[in-house]
Structures are given as structure tokens and as C-alpha cells.
């Protein structure tokens, strides 16, 4: 048991570090954006594109992809090593290309035509074109297969009407993969079809959503009579659900890059050292110490769980199911820890930004935490996933299983 790289890993790390030292942009300020990625400024986007292009040229943009499509033909552990080293330069977190390269393009590579692969993969890899994923809808969140956006065939193209929501990065995206309902007369999973389209197509309208935290990382996307050529269909008609599962399977392995600057025990400890409570310094208060310890063991537990996952990758094994627990732990910890820190701050805890202690770090955490507990699978859905896929417990009873989609009762 040790924490050392293998000789091959150490050599790769040295190679990456040398390249980063020579190529990484310096002097960037750390982003203090919302947990879910605030809207990028024009400058920040240009910087991100330039960095992405540099990485792509060197083969580092997608290390595990084959060399033919611009990758390095490397291993998952090499990707983790690159992420770790990149993070040391303040780079790589919250990139606008993650969804495209992590989910959309792999789906395109699996189901798209040769021509489509030749046309779209490289510009995405170089950060020239940004992709988004258009799955969720107002009435189809956790139950995404219940979506209602209609695609109807008209000759050699399809006409799309409907609405998507929670689309990260839609406002800066050039293309998107779009899951639609093509047959409402069959049960919900069987009537779906996947497409990709230009976000500049006539009839596509993107409206940013202002989140409860005040930031706007998500969008609503409206489709009014949008025409998509049949050549942009991914997979067979009615096979959209299987295609979507491929997309979700390709979700990027969230290891190695850390938790992106979210506040944690270290900050709470720092706060507790500076505050006075009724009976003296907060750090000497037994109740405060108990809570710090509680959150520390959860943070440390996650950190060392990541080490276990990396060990599996390093040995060329698939990571075990323990990799699935992170978000359930992180989101609620952020919410509880932030609220507790605000309690310690007393009446000043209600302040925000520069007027609050530690520049409002805990207020920011508390404001964004509800979103973190919902985005990318709610805490409840994630527990279902752990229960079903890890522990092998039965699925919920599906009352909608064999009923045609257009006969299902609809609530709100």
C-alpha cells in the first residue's frame, strides 16, 4: 500500500508537467463562479478555446481517445494524471467543452455516419465548436423518458416542436444532441429518437434561467417548427432510449480533478479560529469541534475513496461501485456545513459577498447547494441508482411500463 506512481505513470506525469510548464497560460484569476458554472464572459471563453486548442494539438485534449480521432490512445489513469497536473495550474475545471467531449461526441462517434464523424469531432476537440445535451424537459426531469418534445417526419427531414430545460451551456453552444418523441402511441421508452442539430437552426430559441443562487448556468431551449435532416438522426427511429443510455454511460469519470474549489472543512476550521462565541473562541467550543470532525471524516472518506478508484484504474481495472457515492455526500455536506458556518457567524451570517466573513464563501456555498443536490441526478435518484445497480435491489414498480405514452395520466 502506497501513494506512489508506477514508473510508467511517473514518467507520464513528468512529461505532462513539463509540457504544462511550457504551455499553460499563467496569471489567470481563479474563477469564483457558481457551483454549476456561471455564464462565461467572452474573454474567458476565448481563453478556454485557446487552451483547448493547445491541448488538442498535443493530444492531451482527450487522452483515452484513439490517435485517429485526435486522442493519445492513452489509459484512464493517464487522463487522471493529466487532470491532476492541469488542476495545479488552475485549469481544466468547469470547461465549456466537458459535455460535448464527454457525452455528445462519443454518442456521435458510436451512432453517427462516417461523414458526421469526419466533420464534427475535430472542431469539438479543438474547442472551435461547443456542444450541449438536450434531454431534460419541464415535465421530464428524473423520469427523462417521459419527455414530450415531438419530432414528426416530413419526407427527408423531421420537424421538431417542444421545449427543453436545464441545458447547461446552451447559450454558447453551436450544436446539440436532442432526444425527441417520435411515436406517442407506444410505451414511453419505445417511442424516442435521437438527433443532433445546429443550435443556430431557425426556430431554436435559448433563454437563460436565473437560478435561485442568482447565477445563470442553465437554459431553457424552445423548438418551434425546427427542421432537422434525417441524415442527422443518431440510431434507428424508436431507438432513442438506447442511444441516450450510451450518452449517459460516457459520462466523464469525475476523479482526480478535486471538487473544484467548493468550500469544505479547511475553510470551516479557518472560520472557527477567527470567531468568538459566548464561551470563547469558536474553535474551542465542543459542539463546533464535533461538527468539524463529522464533516472531516466524510471529506477524507471521499478523498481516499478516490484513491481506491485511481488504484483500480492504475491496475487497468474498472473502478468499483464505490465511485458512485461522491455526489450524494458532497452536495448535502456543502449545504449543512455552510449553514453551520453561517450560524457561527451569527447575525453577520445573513450578509453576502464582501460584507460577509471570508468574502461570503459559506453564503455562496449555501446558496448553490440546493442546485448541486438536484443537478445531474437528484440525491433521491442517485440513491435509487446505488440501490439498484450497486446493491441489486429491484426497480420501483413502473406503472407506466406497458401503457402507450399518450394514454399516461399527466399531472403538473
Is there binding between residue 301 and other proteins (CB under 8 A)?
Answer: yes
Contact between 115 and other proteins by CB under 8 A: the answer reads no
SS3 162: strand
Provide the minimum distance between the beta carbon of 133 and other proteins in the complex, in angstroms, as a whole number: 26
Please state the closest distance from residue 237 (CB atom) to other proteins, in A. 33
402 near other proteins, judged by CB under 8 A: no
Q: What is the C-alpha separation between 325 and 6, in angstroms, rounded? A: 27
Stretch that binds other proteins, among 21-29, 188-196, 350-358, 395-403 (CB under 8 A): 395-403
Burial class (CB in 10 A: 0-12, 13-18, 19+), 263: buried
**Which grid cell sits at 281?**
473562541
For residue 399, state whether it binds other proteins (rule: CB under 8 A): no
What is residue 93's three-state secondary structure? coil
Active site residue 86: no
75 near other proteins, rule: CB under 8 A:
no
Nearest residue (CB) to other proteins, 206 versus 310: 310
The reply on whether position 172 binds other proteins by CB under 8 A is no
DSSP state of 155: T
Q: Which of residues 192-251 bind other proteins (CB under 8 A)?
A: none
Q: Which is nearer to other proteins, 220 or 400 (CB)?
A: 400
Helix (H, G, I), strand (E, B) or coil at 191: helix
Q: Angle formed by the axes of helices 326-345 and 265-274, to 10°?
A: 10
Full DSSP string of 14-45: HHHHHHHHHHS---PPPP---TT-PPPPHHHH
* 329 interacts with other proteins by CB under 8 A: yes
Binding residue for other proteins, selected from 99, 265, 337, 369, defined by CB under 8 A: 265
Q: Of 124 and 330, which has the nearer Cβ to other proteins?
A: 330
Number of CB atoms found within 10 A of residue 4's CB: 7
Total residues at the site for other proteins (CB under 8 A)? 51
Q: Which stretch binds other proteins (CB under 8 A): 59-67, 141-149, 220-228, 305-313?
A: 305-313
Residue selected from 384, 403, 404, 406 as contacting other proteins according to rule CB under 8 A? 384
Taking the CA atoms of residue 388, residue 394, residue 396 and residue 398 in that order, the dihedral angle to the nearest 10 degrees is 120
Closer to other proteins at the Cβ: 330 or 342? 330
Selected from 2, 30, 43, 278, the binder of other proteins by CB under 8 A is 2
Contacting other proteins (CB under 8 A), which of 397, 399, 410, 412?
397
- Site for other proteins contains 10 (CB under 8 A): no
Q: Does 4 bind other proteins (CB under 8 A)?
A: yes
Find all residues with CB under 8 Å of 256, minimum gap 6, and list them. 79, 80, 81, 83, 84, 87, 306, 310
DSSP 8-class letter at 160:
E
Q: Which set of grid coordinates corresponds to residue 149?
A: 418534445
Least separation in angstroms between residue 2's CB and other proteins is 5
Q: Which of 387, 400, 404, 406 binds other proteins (CB under 8 A)?
A: 387
What's the CA gap between 211 and 319, in Å, rounded?
34
- Asked if residues 62 and 52 have their Cβ atoms less than 8 Å apart, the reply is no
Do 224 and 207 form a contact (C-beta atoms < 8 A)? no
Name the 3-class secondary structure at 104.
Answer: helix
Does the protein bind other proteins through residue 314 (CB under 8 A)? yes
58 interacts with other proteins by CB under 8 A: no
Q: If DSSP codes are grouped into helix, strand and coil, which group holds residue 223?
A: strand
From 9, 47, 251, 322, active-site residue: 251
Instruction: Please tell me the distance from the alpha carbon of residue 53 to that of residue 70, in angstroms, as a whole number.
Output: 11
280 near other proteins, judged by CB under 8 A: no
- Residues of this chain that interact with other proteins (CB under 8 A) are 1-5, 9, 77, 265-266, 269, 283, 286, 289-290, 292-294, 296-298, 300-305, 307-308, 310-312, 314, 322, 325, 328-329, 380, 382-384, 386-388, 390-397
Known catalytic residues? Answer: 251
Amino acid at each position: 500500500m502506497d501513494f506512489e506512481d508506477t514508473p510508467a505513470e511517473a514518467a507520464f506525469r513528468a512529461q505532462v508537467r513539463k509540457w504544462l510548464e511550457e504551455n499553460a497560460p499563467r496569471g489567470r484569476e481563479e474563477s469564483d463562479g457558481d457551483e454549476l458554472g456561471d455564464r462565461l464572459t467572452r474573454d474567458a471563453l476565448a481563453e478556454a478555446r485557446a487552451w483547448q486548442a493547445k491541448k488538442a494539438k498535443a493530444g492531451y485534449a482527450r487522452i483515452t481517445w484513439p490517435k485517429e480521432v485526435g486522442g493519445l490512445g492513452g489509459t484512464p489513469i493517464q487522463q487522471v494524471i493529466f487532470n491532476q497536473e492541469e488542476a495545479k495550474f488552475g485549469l481544466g475545471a468547469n470547461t465549456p467543452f466537458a459535455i460535448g467531449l464527454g457525452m455528445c461526441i462519443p454518442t456521435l462517434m458510436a451512432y453517427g455516419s462516417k461523414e458526421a464523424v469526419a466533420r464534427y469531432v475535430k472542431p469539438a476537440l479543438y474547442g472551435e465548436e461547443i456542444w450541449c445535451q438536450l434531454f431534460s424537459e419541464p415535465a421530464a426531469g428524473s423520469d427523462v423518458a417521459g419527455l414530450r418534445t415531438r419530432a414528426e417526419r416530413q419526407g427527408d427531414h423531421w420537424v421538431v416542436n417542444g421545449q427543453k430545460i436545464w441545458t447547461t451551456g446552451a447559450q454558447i453552444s453551436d450544436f446539440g444532441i436532442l432526444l425527441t418523441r417520435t411515436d406517442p402511441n407506444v410505451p414511453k421508452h419505445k417511442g424516442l429518437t435521437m438527433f443532433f442539430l445546429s443550435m443556430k437552426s431557425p426556430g431554436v430559441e435559448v433563454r437563460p434561467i436565473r437560478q435561485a443562487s442568482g447565477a445563470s448556468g442553465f437554459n431553457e431551449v424552445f423548438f418551434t417548427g425546427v427542421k432537422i435532416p434525417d441524415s442527422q438522426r443518431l440510431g434507428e427511429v424508436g431507438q432513442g432510449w438506447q442511444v441516450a443510455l450510451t450518452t449517459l454511460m460516457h459520462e466523464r469519470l469525475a476523479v482526480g480533478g478535486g471538487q473544484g474549489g467548493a468550500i469544505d472543512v479547511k475553510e470551516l476550521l479557518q472560520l472557527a479560529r477567527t470567531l468568538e462565541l459566548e464561551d470563547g473562541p469558536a474553535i474551542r467550543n465542543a459542539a463546533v469541534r464535533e461538527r468539524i470532525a463529522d464533516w472531516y471524516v466524510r471529506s477524507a472518506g471521499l478523498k481516499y475513496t478516490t484513491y481506491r478508484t485511481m488504484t483500480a484504474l492504475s491496475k487497468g481495472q474498472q473502478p468499483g461501485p464505490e465511485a458512485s457515492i461522491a455526489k450524494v455526500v458532497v452536495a448535502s455536506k456543502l449545504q449543512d456545513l455552510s449553514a453551520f458556518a453561517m450560524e457561527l457567524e451569527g447575525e453577520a451570517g445573513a450578509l453576502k459577498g464582501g460584507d460577509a466573513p471570508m468574502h461570503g464563501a459559506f453564503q455562496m456555498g449555501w446558496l448553490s447547494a440546493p442546485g448541486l443536490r438536484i443537478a445531474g441526478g437528484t440525491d433521491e435518484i442517485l440513491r435509487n441508482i446505488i440501490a439498484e445497480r450497486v446493491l441489486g435491489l429491484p426497480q420501483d414498480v413502473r406503472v407506466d411500463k406497458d401503457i402507450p405514452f399518450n394514454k399516461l395520466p399527466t399531472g403538473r
